[in-house]
Structure 1
Amino acid sequence: MAVIALASPKGGCGKSTTAIALAGAYAEQGYTVRIIDADPRQRVMRWGEAGQTGPQIAVVSAKAETIVATIRAAESEAQIVIIDVEGSANMVVPFAIAHANFVIIPANPSAADVEDAIATVRVVLDTPSKHGRSVPYGLLWTRVSTGFQSREFAALAGQLAEAGVPVIGQFVERTAYKSLFSYCTTLDQLPRDEVPGTDKARAEGAALANAVADAILADQEKAA
């Protein structure tokens, strides 16, 4: 069982897309998954209500006053819990971080997103964990342009490295990720003949799922 929080004070960085892609990847591996949608926009909740998630994925809603109880309930019902929090800073963020085994910080390749990501790292490090130690974390690049990386991207990556922020993976800008909401399903259920880039997106989702699982295991072994 693991709790994974998606945290960033910036809206539009890909938290909801990441939550769905990650849930689909873990479901493909045979795990039961609960997504907690704590964002007032409720995009993931509406996606889940469409009924195309499959039997291994369920979505529940939460807000600041219910988030802790919702996390505990989800932990008892599923093997993987993924928390999608609101873009703006509020009490849901530290609550989610405190109960997480890993924190993913999604960020577009932009100076503003990198600045917010570094600020989010400080929140993660300053938030007491229920496990009694710092919660491991990593940045996920989202909406990365295909082809060769620009000098700007290299500079942003260098800024993260200088700040000591590890990168856990990347999602390239693909139609498949946008189609998650239009088809209201997971990457593995998208029609490949209609949605380009589906297999590559699935590979990216699986790579992220495996990297997070490895990081959680390493942290647990370190604490043992």
Structure 2
Amino acid sequence: MLITEEFINAVRNDGDWDLTFPVSQKEIEGGLDLNGEDIVWRHFPTTDGYTTNDDGLVACRIYETIRAQKLWNAIMSSTYDYAEPGFILIDEVNNKNNNWFCEDIRATNPCGEQPLPPYGSCLLGSVNLTKFVRNPFTKEAYFDWEEYKDVVSVFTRMLDNVVEINGLPLDGQRSEIEYKRRHGMGFLGLGSTITMLTMKYGDAESLEFTEKVARDMAVTGLATGLELAREKVQHQS
């Protein structure tokens, strides 16, 4: 479920919330008044086949108006009881998207960890942190940071190479991944690694370790990405 900042503000202010959907061409041909009180103009992920104004907003019809807090409570109750629906602050996602200048994030993959634009696809991989622990479960246990960063660098190149052999079924998907070369890298085995290093999960030392794991992955990945950009731009030119 995509939650907008507008809805959050309505909840905070105990305001009303209009349940809307874009007006169809058939409704307009049937004489629907776009200046009527049941019409609002809103941002919508796609404008294809819909009526827009000069600001790019889509004409939407109000089908019902309810208290925003009532809808919020229904969402929260369902999430607490059944772990559904998924909850994505979509405006925040787009505000922090590095590719803001060339895309609009519309949804995520089913698990929610990968926000994607139209025709976006997942190219994900994980690094097993336990492989970098030396002398595990002893007082001499340590994490091999240099090898970890080397693996992250190589793995960044591996994932980027997958772009060339993506095997995606649609032309739009292939164009999207080849143009932006999006991939995601994560890590697994964090809890086991912390234990192997004789740290207590959740204490200050383990939190500092976790922060360094994430930071080194991000910085190394970005540095390798810059190298790839230089190499592949020269190659393509």
Query: Normalized against structure 2, the TM-score is what?
Result: 0.28
Query: Normalized against structure 1, the TM-score is what?
Result: 0.29
